[in-house]
Amino acid sequence: MLAGQRLTVSSPQGRFAEGASLLTGQLCLAVEAFGKHLLYRFNSGDVLHIHLGLFGRTRKRKLPLVEPRGAVRVRLVGDTHVIDINGPTICRVLAAQDVLTLTERIGPDVLRSDADPDRAFNRITRSKAPIGRLIMDQSVMAGIGNIYRSEILWRQAVHPETPGKAIDRATFDRIWDDAKALLTLGVKRNAIITVDGARPSKSRYSERVNIFGKDSCPTCKEAIRRFEIDGRRTFVCETCQPLIEKLSSVT
């Protein structure tokens, strides 16, 4: 994005003011993602850490500058473009040690080539927690959000309430590979698309997904059950995703 450019960093809303002054005029060496965390690395060694949370947005525009739209917390101005960051949950400057602490806390990111899926598999098979919780636990594996959770488990015919330790290696591999494929597509199209062959459109994501927010299963037409895992909506077709607790529940 703006990597390789000298950036003017400002804080139009006044918040993050000290952080902005620390960074302004520095060369942005790289922009990197660890799961849902964004790191802007600067030549001074400072790192701008952003997490967009539930409501955060970034907007990229060509220069010239226009008035910030909505609640812009950080504005990054390069040679040709400007990026506005609205409503991030996290917006701070990290020292090198804090960056390490952060990246060590985050599980393997399905989109990173240096990710080690074995770490996720080991966590999952040691837990009796439901797989629907585990794959969205960013310390177990990073990248999957609430919509992808229901969609991936439906696509792989895994019931979200299956205990982690009942997940065998082949099943885990299918979940991991599907997550990787869907998130890669999502990045490429800048949209959540989990229906094979679907195209992004101006419509809401609900038209590009299989069961999230739906009442009936696109495959078998049976009713979709909706319930909560950790307070977040979860959808399951109990016909296509039967709950199999398998043998390993022997304790």
Query: CB-wise, 20 or 147, nearer to DNA?
Result: 147
CB of 138 to DNA, least distance (A): 4
CB of 201 to DNA, least distance (A): 12
Phi, psi of 54 (to 5 degrees): -75, -35
CB 118: neighbour CB atoms within 10 A? 11
Q: Which two three-digit tokens encode residue 179?
A: 């997550």
Residue 68, Cβ density class (10 Å: 0-12 exposed, 13-18 middle, ≥19 buried):
middle
Q: Helices (H), strands (E): how many in the chain?
A: 6, 10
Query: CB-wise, 79 or 245, nearer to DNA?
Result: 245
Query: CB-wise, 68 or 239, nearer to DNA?
Result: 68
CB of 166 to DNA, least distance (A): 16
Query: CB-wise, 8 or 127, nearer to DNA?
Result: 127
Q: Which residues pair with 233 in a beta bridge?
A: 228
CB of 193 to DNA, least distance (A): 11
CB of 209 to DNA, least distance (A): 10
B/e letters for 163-198, b = 16+ CB within 10 Å, e = fewer, are bbbbbeeebbebbbebbbebbebbeeeeebbbeeeb
CB of 177 to DNA, least distance (A): 20
Angle at 186 between CA 54 and CA 106, to 5 degrees: 55
Query: CB-wise, 54 or 66, nearer to DNA?
Result: 54
Query: CB-wise, 5 or 139, nearer to DNA?
Result: 139
The set of residues, in sequence order, having a beta carbon less than 8 Å from that of 18 and lying 6+ positions away, is none
CB of 56 to DNA, least distance (A): 7
- H or E stretch covering 61: strand 57-62
Binding site for DNA (CB under 7 A): 13, 35-36, 51, 53-57, 69-71, 73, 86-87, 89-90, 105, 129, 136, 138, 145-147, 192, 205, 230-233
The set of residues, in sequence order, having a beta carbon less than 8 Å from that of 67 and lying 6+ positions away, is none
Query: CB-wise, 43 or 201, nearer to DNA?
Result: 201
